[in-house]
A and B are shown apart, each in its own frame.
Chain A
Amino acid sequence: MVTSAARSIVHRLRPLRWIAVTLVLVLTACETPPPAPPDPDTAEMESAVGAVVRRAREAVLETPASADAWGELGMVLHVHGLYDDAATVYRQAAELDGEEVRWPYFLGEVLTIRGDDPEAAFAAFRRALELRPDYAPAHLRLANALAVEDRLDEAEPHYRRALELAPDLVPARLGLGQVLLLQGDPEDAVPLLEAVVREQPANPRALTALGRAYQRVGRRDEALAVAERARGPEVPGFFDDALMSQVIAKGTSTSLLWDRARAYLDAGNFEQAAAGLARVVQRKPEDAEVQHQLGTALQELERPTEAARHLERAVALDPSRVDARVQLAVVWMDAGRGDAALGHLQAARAERPDDPELPWLEARALAVAERHAEAIASFEAAAAESSPPAWALHDWGASLAQLGRYDEAIERFEAVLAMQPDLPQTLFFLGLAYEAVDAREDAIAAYRRTMAIEPNPLAAARLTALGQ
């Protein structure tokens, strides 16, 4: 029951209620209906890509007010090369959540790739820097975008800021060096570019810029030498960018997985490389190159059984793949299977008869197979063609020792140590050989050197046996 006082209040509130209803109606009328996300044709895409695009799009349709859903769709479109759609979607994500740095940052990147509206790209990067002013990659990307437009004076402070924030950011040092060169300041560009070349000796962009800088300051011979080195393949411009890594991680097409895995291989991140290559192998099991690279990554991870399986497959798919055969042979030799290695090395030699390393590997395979007389003959034959590497001399000496030819073995081991004085295994074998020819003091000296480099129970035992 409503009291009179209460009625009075309700009556007083009625006009307010109508005002409120009116406001709601007006606001409702002004509210935009949920925008439809772009609907790219996925029919011809790789099925995994089509699926991920459709899934991300459906998430947007289910939660059209979610900036994250839009951003996720943007990243999926972005990484698969659908840049215009990605830009549209990032804009919407940024509209829904104006405080999230990723959306303007990624928008700046896709607009830079498309390139026909540089001002919009600058604005997007600048917005990202408002939200995260200390993010060095954003300064770098904005600087790069400005440099492309010949706005060097604006690019320069962003390169410098990127380097203040991340002194190891090599592309920023390169960019700054290039900008200084283009601004007519080769003297200041030279040390920057030299530093980049020290860190990335095969970077053609850095070498080209350094060559031009040398040329400008009159160091013509150095310019020519550097320019010759600049003819190599492009070095992937990857740098540590935690935000952009989120986009790259969305890539599901085989070609993207492949590119990413190879980048990990180049960077020495074999764990990530192997994981990515395993996905590629699932999709392209008949591709010898993919099998080969996965075998390489697994070999680096010291997973020889798995490595051998993929290298065997690579060789079966493409018998002319010499490098895979050699790697496989190395895996087998490391596993003590010299005979298994031998066949691949002989096949490799047939394909590449002038490769000086192959005869040495073949001799090593014979040694691993305990076929020491044949191994020694092979070592001798190899030595007639090329100088032995240290590892081959060591194996040669070991085979000689196995056949009781200790003096010759000592000669080989000493030769190894002349090349590489601190090889504990060779020192230990040398000690054994000296013991065998009753050169006690020499043996003790060899064992002591072994222990000095790397404590070794076998060497310690020999020293004890020799009364030390």
Chain B
Amino acid sequence: MGCSGKDTTVDDEGASTPAATTDAAPWFEDVTAAWGIDAVHDAGARGALRIPEIMGSGLALFDADDDGALDLYQVNSAPVVGPGEPPAEGAPNRLFLQRDGAFVEMPGSGLGDRGIGMGVAVGDYDNDGDVDVYLTNDGLDRLFRNRGDGTFDDVTESAGIAVDDWSSSAAFCDVDADGHLDLYVVRYVRHDLDTVCTDTAGRVEYCGPESFPDAHDVLLRNRGDGTFEDVTESAGIGAVTGAGLGVSCLDFDADGHLDLYVANDADPNQLWINHGDGTFRDEGLLRGASVNAQGLNEAGMGVVAGDFDGDDDFDLFVTHLEEESNTYYRNLGGTAGFEDKSASAGLAASSMRFTGFGTAALDADLDGDLDLAAVNGRVKRSVDVYETSMPAPWDRYAEPNLFYRNDGDVFHLLGAEAAAFTAPVEIGRGLAVGDLDGDGDPDLALSSTQGPLRLVRNLAGDRARAAGHRWLLVEARDPALGDRYALGAVVTLELADGRRQTRAISAAASYLSSSDPRALFAFGPPGATGSLVVRWPGGVAERFAVDAFDRVLVVRRGGGSPVGEE
């Protein structure tokens, strides 16, 4: 005679990691130490729970010294000092150059700003063939011009840049299609040091954006002479405020003009539709990209755009606060707008327990579709604490990350096989993607509040290549513009067997971060030939033959055959 099964104790589960699919072979390995990185973020926290501390800082992957290898830039924060408080200095931002497969810090780079650092945008604003850096701060932002050798000059003042208050993400983006990269700077809130916030149980906690007035974003038009003018008001950008955190600049409605998407924290996200005449209108609400399917504002943190469903337009994935899902806005094409397909794509319930920030779209397993990565970390303390190496009180903000494999019409959460990416339980903030080791698959770099900078090498791509998968890393450049990357260009690979993929040349995405802008294509066997169609910013398209894969392919504007004349 048996006892029917009641538990003898009420379950006190504590924090649990997300349920996930299991596949034995690891997708990633942590190569932080092996590649010479030992850098812990300074949040500037000195015990007063000031909001910039918990928002963290970003990072960038870009080729600072033009040697063909991606370098790494870490942004650090600094203490927020109130009136009458003693001055306090934070850690400087750090540039690590890649040398012989390892990263070496370059202390005299000129990028070692010591402000309350937030985000970074990368682009060749002066069309001289090397990439420059825009740094956002809680305070005055900075523009650094690359001398061409990986060292930089602070040209903020001479460039006429005076963006103060609290900026978050930024994007270099030629919105007026004049060949000069303009700058879109996302701004968060105008916080003060007097407001004290508590959670629903009355515990003193970091304030959220609702405690402060929103700011409007800033659009700086590049005059082409090394200076910028603030066109925020004339462009219409100043008409709408929001607590902005993430940004993506692409042609979302395929009309030939680069649009802007801004993820706002607890405000409707903005989809700034570029009219092509220097003005924009936020059509996010009408086009279904501002609020979720229930019409609710969510706490937008990071955003990444990519053609997740393989229909040649750019969908959006936005990370959010705990008790909100991350949201997948599927692009319906042209002016039809977007629809929230988070739940049916498998991205909703699995993300509800986490506060997502940085995010990346990458074809990690080189199977031809974009997988999704998101780094997590709370902004309010948890009752449950994950096992973490973070010291108190940060341990109660730390969370594991999420990695989803794209299986065509649905995403599957990876478990132990992605542990090198997901298992470090930290306060994830920045996330950037790029082929760090030049082997043809995308690797990841992560930043976390008060945690270590991490580099994660892709192993799934190694296995895919061994199984016959092919890849092509496309650099779309414009020789008339200093041979710089054509940021915003849309590249479509058309294989001879009918398969096709569309990717963008884009660096700005995620949260406070900048990724390698090159477009990576990959596909499974059989081997094939094909061609690339590049739609350059402004709408002109050219076709380039592709007769070999498994390499970096540089395509230059003017070097292909006009698509309309084939």
Contact = CB atoms under 8 A, between A and B. Distances in A.
Interface of A: 26, 29-30, 32-33, 35-38, 40-41, 44-49, 79-82, 84-85, 88-89, 91-92, 95, 113-118, 144, 147-151, 174-175, 178, 182, 204-206, 208-209, 211-212, 215, 223-224, 227, 230-231, 234, 251, 253-256
A205 B10 contact: no
Given A32-B7, A45-B203, A92-B10, A115 B285 contact: no
B270 to A, nearest CB: 10
Interface stretch (B104-112, B155-163, B342-350, B454-462): B342-350
Interface stretch (B39-47, B291-299, B506-514): B291-299
B268 A114 contact: no
A33 B8 contact: yes
Interface string B163-192: 000000000000000000000000000000
Contacts of B349: 115-118, 149
Given A118-B349, A209-B295, A227-B286, A48 B202 contact: yes
A224 B281 CA distance: 11
Residue picked from B201, B203, B294, most chain A C-beta under 10 Å: B201
B157 to A, nearest CB: 34
B202 A253 contact: yes
Contacts of A150: 293, 341-344, 348
B202 A40 contact: no
B286 A38 contact: no
Interface of B: 1, 3-4, 6-13, 18, 198-204, 240, 268, 283, 285-286, 288, 290-291, 293-297, 323, 325, 337, 339, 341-344, 348-350, 352-353, 383-384
Contact of A224 (B286, B291, B337): B286
A150 B352 CA distance: 15
Contacts of A178: 293-295
B352 A115 contact: yes
Contacts of A116: 18, 349-350, 352-353
Given A46-B201, A49-B202, A88-B12, 4 more contacts: A44-B203, A116-B349, A150-B342, A178-B295
Contacts of B12: 38, 85, 88
Residue picked from A29, A79, A92, A115, most chain B C-beta under 10 Å: A115
B199 A211 contact: no
A253 B201 contact: yes
A208 B200 contact: no
Contact of A254 (B202, B293, B323): B202
Residue picked from A95, A116, A144, A174, most chain B C-beta under 10 Å: A116
A150 B348 CA distance: 10
Contact of B10 (A89, A113, A212): A89
Contacts of B6: 32, 95
Contacts of B323: 113-115
Residue picked from A30, A40, A48, most chain B C-beta under 10 Å: A30
A316 B256 CA distance: 58
A457 B302 CA distance: 70
Contacts of A40: 383
B293 A205 contact: no
A348 to B, nearest CB: 21
B29 to A, nearest CB: 28
Given A81-B201, A208-B295, A88 B383 contact: no
Nearest to B382: A84
Contact of A212 (B4, B200, B286): B286
A231 B384 contact: no
| 8 closest cross-chain pairs (CB), A and B | A46-B202, A115-B352, A205-B295, A30-B3, A81-B200, A150-B343, A253-B202, A35-B10
Contacts of B337: 212, 215
Given A82-B383, A144-B294, A150-B341, A253 B198 contact: yes
Residue picked from A48, A234, A254, most chain B C-beta under 10 Å: A234
A182 B8 CA distance: 45
A182 B292 CA distance: 12
Residue picked from A49, A204, A208, most chain B C-beta under 10 Å: A208
Given A115-B325, A211-B285, A85 B383 contact: yes
A34 B24 CA distance: 41
Contacts of A212: 285-286, 288, 337
Contacts of A148: 293-294, 325, 343, 348
A212 B285 CA distance: 8
A80 B4 contact: no
Contacts of B286: 211-212, 215, 223-224, 227
Nearest to B291: A208
Contacts of B202: 45-49, 80, 253-255
A32 B349 CA distance: 33
Contacts of A251: 200
A261 to B, nearest CB: 15
A19 to B, nearest CB: 12
A26 B13 CA distance: 30
A29 B3 contact: yes
Given A35-B8, A84-B383, A209-B295, A46 B13 contact: no
B10 A255 contact: no
